Chains A and B, each alone.
Chain A
Amino acid sequence: MRHVSIAAGDISPPHIEYGRLAPILIVLAAAAVGVLIEAFVSREHRYWAQVQVSLLGLVGAFAWTVALGVSSTPHHVAAMGAIGIDGPTLFIQGTILALALMSLLLIAERRHEPSPFTAQASSVPGTAEERESLVAGITQTEVFPLMLFAVGGMLIFPAANDLLTMFVALEVLSLPLYLLCGLARRRRLLSQEAAVKYFLLGAFSSAFFLYGTALLYGYAGSVRLSDISAAISTQAGTEPMLLAGVALLSVGLLFKMGAVPFQVWKPDVYQGAPTAITALMASCTLVSAVGGILRVFYVGFETLRWDWRPMMWAVAILTMLLGAIVAITQTDVKRMLAYSSIAHGGFLLTGVIATNQAGLSSTLFYLAAYGFTTVGAFAVITMVRDAGGEAWHLSRWAGLGKRQPLLAGTFALFLLAFAGIPLTSGFTGKFAVFQAAVAGGATPLVIVGVLSSAIAAFFYVRVIVLMFFNEPAADGPSVVFSPTSTAAVAVGALATVVLGVVPGPALHLAQSAASQFFVR
């Protein structure tokens, strides 16, 4: 009895810095409130309640992140070392929250049809049950809490300072996304197929991640990134267990960002998922995944960089080339953007490989620049519709520039930004990562980078040709303007131009965020 009480006295309650973790907690709390709303608020009021709670949660979390960013307190690890809140992390979290807000505008869209999401996810496609639920005009609102949970996971993932926390974050962000992917209102079979594929492959990659974590624990005796780093620098020689652990962990991380050879899920999932969710995945998930990669490789394996850099070189080169080349053959606009996203993942990796401060800051800037452009581009896709919902096939986009010059012009702007034409954010970002990579001694990588940019330019330009130089089809898609998606497009376009023409402030922000580096 006495023995037990002593033991209880030894266990001190963990010290949690609630102020530093507040953005994460706010988002997760909003998600929990959303679940309660699902349970207790009547059906007709649910939509507005959910939108308000999500909006409040995200805006509040964003404001808190900004406040943390401007406050001059020195950054250190929080929650007993499990979470690192520092300059780069705050930048990444702020970016994720801003992009999530933009995606929320698309998710909350109700103008085009009752909801972009299925009336009843459980109903089998093509059955009487499905028709009934459609006729009844049921709209589901679980998407909002699901999305908030995913965003909460995304916020923890790049902040996680030990591999177990990171794994938990990975699962928290992934599981809601698997579900969200399968909720499309139209083309439900495609959507469900995407969800199953994403789930199976994602579960597989999580297993790799966990296996890698276990091996690293075996090597270093800790899952804490700083301990692993210390173990690497003190224990001479390269242990097979360490290298295997790094490799397996990398598989899990690279899968989430969709780097070759772990990219196969991306086109199918991006195509099948509801476009609003695709926008969320293409922006927030990518930012979060790259943030996690940055932390693991800059903190955990920093001292091991001569060993992992060759592997990352190969991955980056393959990712850039494959993304750019395969995109040429795509005829579906969402699949094309998926391959484009793969190629951009490769460009991001060139910044990661630089392993210097410029590499970190340029990658951060690239993430923000790319994220805004991407959400904007997917927002445009939600607006171009015909009788069967969104018009995905590129041939349907022919002559759009003649009927909707403004919208097509904005989409052309996004495409030019993806292609990296000067005076758009895409150019600034590309320039930043390439410059960091050359300074970091990765010149051949940059040459591959510019060559694949040239290849990638081809398919971006092809879409512009289609929109502006081809004659419109007689029964072409119509463009449905609605306040929320128009707002998302406008924010995306504004960010694309501002970050291209006057990138100074944003670059400065990224640099000052990176100047503190990751805490250990």
Chain B
Amino acid sequence: MLTALIAIPALGALLLAFLPKGKDALAKYTALAVTLVVAVLTVVMAIRFDSGGPRFQFTEKYWWIRSFHVHYAVGVDGVALVLILLSAILVPLVVLASWNDAERSGGVEEPPKRSVKAYFALLLGLEAMMIGVFAATDIFLFYVFFEAMLIPMYFIIGSYGGPQRSYAAVKFLLYSLFGGLLMLAAVIGLYVVSANAGNGTFLFGELTKLHIEPTTAKWLFLGFFIAFAIKAPLVPFHTWLPDAAGQAPAGAAVLLVGVLDKVGTYGMLRFCIELFPGAAKWFTPVVLTLSVIGIVYGAVLAIGQVDIKRLIAYTSISHFGFITLGIFAMTTQGQTGATLYMVNHGFSTGALFLVAGFLIVRRGSSRIDAFGGVKNVAPLLAGTFLVAGLSGLSLPGLSTFVSEFLVLVGTFTRYKVPAIIATTGIILAAVYILWMYQRTMTGPTTEKVAGMRDLSKRELIVIAPVLALLVVLGFYPKPALDMINPSVKQTMVRVDKQDPKPTIAEKGSRP
């Protein structure tokens, strides 16, 4: 099942790559069909997932490189499953949203004509690797996907991005490679530790049983953590993200920020904490501090941005702060909230980037001051932008509120000060979102905006499901939470932490 999910888009990518020149329309429809099949299969898998069953389901395990003791081993728990769902749902929408993007190179300025089929082939390749990276239960396999994933994204940004695409693509690749290579050293170290313990393996399930000497564990934790912190990205490793997301075509930016960066936070939750529980606890104060700094710093910088895509990228840095905060709070609520946050953030930021992409294509510029009064000429566009924006500032009733609330509550029960400071992030979020909305959508309609078309049918089809999901999960997050909770409980057992008992201040008594 999982292998099929990885193989179908991979084969689709190969197929597209070998299509004859000039069959652009065929390439687009093939890509759409492939991604829809994958999405349907993923949904089927999610329905068949038994949240009361064993932790990892749909597992497959074969030898891949016997000499290295490497398995091709895949399987999903609730956390991985929701993230695979997120990817599988976003990709067809991105394909649809970028229907005319490949020719236009991000919609900004002189559009160099690029190969259309290559763009969609890269997207499909990326999808295969995104699913693979979440499904891998062998650390070597995870690493392979983790690194290989960079290449299609690198080519997408570099070939189809905005004016500074080449700089952004290289910066993206080098930052990620650097982190990845540190992780490689840690992966090797971990293997050698397991080999010294008598049984060399890369299988996640067996590695968690390993007893690692504390000092070694701290170094290995750092190797993994820095890679994930660059990927996520956590301040101070974040500077590549605004460049990459700002230059990537809108569709790719959705996947970059919505899914690829989640690999970082997913990796922290899955690998950093579960493989090195002791070290994770030791590093918690540092990570919490960085998270809180990220929340406030990202939000403040977002307020100051003049470019829509860069603004959204900075809001994401702030949101990633929330996610890591929830993960390292080491409470069930915090980690469940953080996982849900990953999904919600994928949809919410995805929606923002998609609508922003529509705006930018229409105006030919991504600067905020190039817009004004869009609401008057394109009410649907403005409306969807508002809803997407509100989900970014976690309005109650939208799914992001649930996760942000869970994270804050989960953190507060153990670490009060970070939670309190993090709460200011919500206020700052209102500032950057609403002020952006105000500057672009309201006010007098400028001359350049006057002729703007409203959303086309295709664009509506793209944006409607995402917004619907945001609302549905906002009112009824139970299905997602049911999937996530058992996995998180396992993690909590692994770090050997109980949730602090809620205390109720009795009348008259001092807490």
Contact = CB atoms under 8 A, between A and B. Distances in A.
Interface of A: 361, 405, 416, 419-423, 427-428, 431-432, 434-435, 438-439, 443, 446-447, 449-451, 453-454, 457-458, 461-462, 465, 468-471, 503-504, 507-508, 511
A438 B67 contact: no
B283 interface: no
Given A416-B151, A454-B174, A461-B173, A422 B67 contact: no
Contacts, number: 91
Contacts of B185: 434, 438, 443, 446-447, 449-450
B45 interface: no
A225 B52 CA distance: 65
Nearest to A416: B151
Given A468-B155, A504-B65, A462 B192 contact: no
Interface stretch (B33-41, B164-172, B380-388, B399-407): B164-172
Given A454-B177, A508-B66, A465 B189 contact: no
A50 B225 CA distance: 59
A51 to B, nearest CB: 34
B148 A421 contact: yes
Interface in B116-164: 143-145, 147-148, 150-151, 154-155, 158-159
Interface in B182-220: 182, 184-185, 188-189, 191-192, 195
Contact of A450 (B151, B165, B184): B184
Contacts of B154: 461
Interface in B73-120: 112, 115
B148 A465 contact: no
Given A434-B188, A451-B181, A465-B169, 15 more contacts: A405-B115, A419-B177, A421-B147, A431-B188, A435-B188, A435-B191, A439-B192, A446-B188, A450-B181, A453-B181, A454-B178, A504-B65, A507-B65, A507-B66, A507-B68
A438 B64 CA distance: 22
Contacts of B189: 438, 443
A509 B167 CA distance: 42
Contacts of B177: 419, 454, 457
11 contacts: A421-B147, A421-B150, A422-B143, A423-B148, A428-B65, A447-B185, A451-B181, A453-B181, A461-B154, A469-B169, A507-B68
B106 to A, nearest CB: 13
Nearest to B149: A422
Contacts of B143: 422
A464 to B, nearest CB: 8
A504 B66 contact: yes
The SS class assigned to the A binding surface is: helix
Contact of B159 (A420, A449, A468): A468
Given A461-B170, A503-B65, A468 B158 contact: yes
Interface of B: 63-68, 112, 115, 143-145, 147-148, 150-151, 154-155, 158-159, 165-166, 169-170, 173-174, 177-178, 181-182, 184-185, 188-189, 191-192, 195
B181 A421 contact: no
Contacts of B151: 416, 421
A422 B159 contact: no
A156 to B, nearest CB: 29
Contact of A469 (B67, B150, B159, B182): B159
A223 B158 CA distance: 58
A504 B188 contact: no
Contacts of A361: 67
B346 to A, nearest CB: 24
A504 B70 CA distance: 10
Nearest to A430: B184
Contact of B158 (A427, A465, A511): A465
A54 B177 CA distance: 43
A187 B160 CA distance: 39
Given A422-B147, A435-B68, A504-B67, A462 B170 contact: yes
Contacts of B158: 465, 468-469
Contacts of B147: 421-422, 427
A432 B192 CA distance: 12
Contacts of A423: 144, 148
B266 to A, nearest CB: 18
B63 to A, nearest CB: 8
A450 B155 contact: no
B165 A469 contact: yes
A446 B185 CA distance: 7
